[in-house]
Chains A and B, each alone.
Chain A
Amino acid sequence: MKPIRIGNGCGFWGDNLDAPILLARAGRLDVLTLEYLAELTMSILALQKERDPDAGFAADFLDVLERLTPILKEQPRLKIITNAGGMNPHSCARKARAILQGARLGYKRIGIVSGDDLLPRLDELLASGHAFTNLDTTAPLTTVRERVVSANAYLGAAPIVEALRQGADIVVTGRVADASLTVAPTAHAFNWRWDDWHRLAGATVAGHLIECGAQVTGGLWCHWQDAKDLANVGYPFVDMSDDGGFTISKPEGSGGAVNLETVSEQLLYEVGDPAAYLTPDVVADFTSVQLHHAGPDRVQVSPARGQPATGTFKASIAYRDGFQASGTLVILGPKAVAKAQASGAMLIERLRRIGIVPERHHIEVLGTGACVPGVLKDAPEPVEVVLRVSVQDGRRAVVERFTKELAPLVTSGPPGVTGYTTGRPPVREVFAYWPALVDKRVVTPSVEVLA
């Protein structure tokens, strides 16, 4: 059977807006996937929906879709699968339909996958014994229940396949495991069974490799200088075979690189036990695949091995956890580091004198290896640094007051301090992350195809 080509044109909300268009135009894809939802995106979308019942999805997708309409006419068989629906896949789908109708593509069918939103049922689930125990701290969710703003199960590939079976050309989902966006069209194309564990594992490896977009085509690569024309980096696609093996590449003429190094770096990216990568669809063994050079910017990945999926979905829950702000100043030497440290301490001391003591504060001197505090002990003394001071507190007023203490340091601290032209830093509300599991039997994915 002919392989199916699936390309991913978006790795996160905020990714390059031109990438999906370039990939769809040049990639000769069967399916374009677009991934928008990071761990905490749902909490932001939940608040948007609270303010406006029609909002709460990744609005970038609508702009992308509008620009894709000429390509959808040239490539009538191209399908799009995206989790842009976020907290409101129905609203996202309705607006997508309006765009398609406006472009005389009203005959395209839009599938909607929902059922991931657990918030409306959260109390009922808690009452019936589902504790949503924090996977890291083992605390029960009841300890923060009042502050929860979103709770979503990561659904798998099955409801997307159902939408495709019902004839959807475009599938808009809420929270779905990233790799499932790739597993679904493959399982649909080859009519896989849901206990074809090895095949599902292979497609999961593929989905994992392309879900972060340019990270597998030269982005973040340790030898990034060897990637040609990274400014024009091509986004990845996979040619999936029926046995779960695939090749990974990028459009001809695009920049970046696909080789054994870029692929192996991404294989382990954000992975725990590589022999047991858990998704709703399968437990995939990433150590079971062999990578082979298969031509310029082309790597072949052998079929993987998989184990039966677990009986639980991962649930991603977000709860309010106070407020944060961070401000920066630029400081030139001599003794730039000492001046920065003194300035930061001065700022905190000035707050203390007016009775303001944030619950947490952090002073860091960027330029000294502050990304990894204390680790790079032999780093040379920089001639110029950025002082960054951050605070967190449950009281917004405390954080507000902090944001007004940075500017005075330009005139009332050490000399050689600048970089304060963008005004007071914004106060942002903090949504903390609560990872948990939920029994698959109490989550019911829902599929609807707009006529």
Chain B
Amino acid sequence: MNEVTRLSDIAHARSGDKGNHANIGVLAYTPAGYAWLKEYLTADVVAEYFATMKPSRVVRFEAANVLGLNFMLFDVLAGGASQSLRIDTQGKTLASALLQMPLVPPPVLKSLEQML
């Protein structure tokens, strides 16, 4: 079995913008993976991960039908598509960044097999 260390091992994701806010949809590959996400990938964890980008708040929504969590990161784009001076004005890369997050705590071996 491949080593499972990062979020990308148990989920896929896509991000985009809404004005100065961004959203990241995170989708688990399996129900066990979704259970792990629901327990550990909280709004607080995501806010902490992106803390240097200074989101004013992070809100999490559930979309169980696609084993998904949707995160809204408010005021995280330094002005958004029109005003931001950053290279990624639209939050297109946030999902790729989040997927590199180490899995903490590491899933135990048995539940791990169910997440892949």
Contacts and interface: CB of A to CB of B under 8 A. Distances in A.
Interface string B55-75: 000000111111110101001
Query: Helix, strand, loop or mixed for chain B's interface?
Result: mixed
Interface stretch (A193-201, A246-254, A265-273, A418-426): A265-273
Contacts of B100: 376
Nearest to B16: A270
Nearest to B27: A264
A120 interface: no
A366 interface: yes
A375 B22 CA distance: 15
A236 B76 CA distance: 31
B85 A391 contact: yes
Given A274-B70, A372-B53, A375-B52, A286 B88 contact: no
B contact residues, range? 35 or more
Interface string A254-286: 000000010011111111111100000000001
Interface in B39-55: 49-53
B87 A375 contact: no
A265 B70 CA distance: 10
Nearest to B14: A265
Contact of B64 (A223, A287, A318, A324): A287
A264 B68 contact: yes
B94 interface: yes
B79 to A, nearest CB: 8
A374 interface: yes
B35 interface: no
A362 B20 contact: no
Contacts of A288: 65
Interface residues of A, number: 52
Interface in B1-57: 8, 12-14, 16-21, 23, 25, 27, 49-53
Interface in A420-437: 430-433, 435
Nearest to A272: B72
Nearest to A222: B12
Nearest to A38: B81
A268 B63 contact: yes
B61 A273 contact: yes
A435 B86 CA distance: 21
A220 B92 CA distance: 10
Contacts of B61: 272-275
A175 to B, nearest CB: 16
Contacts of A298: none
Contacts of B17: 270
Given A222-B13, A372-B53, A372-B97, A271 B85 contact: no
Contacts of A431: 82
A74 to B, nearest CB: 36
A372 B94 contact: yes
Given A136-B19, A289-B65, A376-B97, A271 B70 contact: yes
Contacts of A265: 12-14, 25, 27
B111 interface: no
A270 B14 CA distance: 9
A388 interface: yes
Contact of A364 (B52, B79, B86): B86
A370 interface: yes
B80 to A, nearest CB: 6
Contacts of A291: 65-66
A287 B65 contact: yes
Contacts of B79: 432
A73 to B, nearest CB: 38
A433 B79 CA distance: 9
A362 B50 contact: no
Contacts of A60: none
Contacts of A433: 19, 80-83
B83 A430 contact: yes
B24 to A, nearest CB: 8
Interface in B91-116: 92-94, 97, 99-100
A269 B16 contact: yes
| Shortest 3 CB-CB contacts between residues of A and residues of B | A374-B52, A268-B25, A362-B85
Given A268-B27, A274-B70, 8 more contacts: A222-B99, A223-B12, A261-B27, A268-B66, A290-B65, A318-B82, A362-B85, A371-B87
Interface of A: 38-40, 136, 220, 222-223, 261, 264-275, 286-291, 318, 321, 324, 326, 360-362, 364, 366, 369-376, 388, 390-392, 430-433, 435
Interface of B: 8, 12-14, 16-21, 23, 25, 27, 49-53, 61-68, 70, 72, 75, 78-83, 85-88, 92-94, 97, 99-100
16 contacts: A39-B82, A136-B75, A220-B14, A264-B25, A264-B66, A265-B12, A265-B25, A271-B25, A272-B70, A275-B63, A286-B63, A287-B64, A362-B86, A375-B97, A431-B82, A433-B80
